Structure 1
Amino acid sequence: MKKLVLSIAIVVLASCGGKKEEEPFGKKQVEPVSVTEEAATVNPMLEKGKKLFEGKGTCTACHKPATKVIGPSLKEISKIYKDKNASIVTFLKGEGEPIVDPSQFEVMKANFAITKNMTDEELQALEAYVMSF
């Protein structure tokens, strides 16, 4: 009987010594780098567009990358403009029709005072940034 108990104890202890997969609890998760961040190092227009979007353009007040706030998300804007082969620059100059969310057009028109004063290069950088989503 002693040998049986000893044998079971050895088997139990031996089976506990294997490598276990660790749970991620409490450990910092590595965030994936977004395509936009990687692309910005290759295309300086994206970095300039991002600065305009977050700063002078005041776009972040209404637009977020993946969620609708007041205006549509950048992913939605990008998808629709790509699908329709349309120009964001033309829209931001006040020369194009709203194609993403026409119901929000009146809200967006207030920002034309800002975007109409941007240079063509600034508008192209802003478009490049939005289209990178």
Structure 2
Amino acid sequence: MEEKSVVRRKSFDFAVRVVKLCQFVSKNHHEFVLTRQLLKSGTSIGANVRESNNAESGADFIHKFSIAQKECDETLYWLELLKATDYLTENEYGSMYEDCEELMKIIRSIILTRKANLKNDKLKKG
């Protein structure tokens, strides 16, 4: 349970940072298309983590976290694109990218652990 609360907190904190970053880029660079994409994927990570709390089964839980993982990867893409097009400085990019990669690692770990637990449960039931 502690692992889930960590990912829940970190994904929410990351979403707040994404919102603030998108506000900053939109205001200072008048860029709205890429930031809109970043906003959608970056906030979706935490939304899917939150949805996993109400999963109907172990498979549904894994599915919600798999969506969060995909959104995390998409967020990395938008951050890379914003950096490559000079909308983000190296510091802005690096900090956000590191946090997103950390989230990705946590999410992947949770998925692998849950899959292993489901497999073990099936073996025990035989």
- After TM superposition, the score normalised by the length of structure 2 is 0.27
- After TM superposition, the score normalised by the length of structure 1 is 0.26
Return the structure number with greater helix share. Answer: 2
Larger Rg: 1
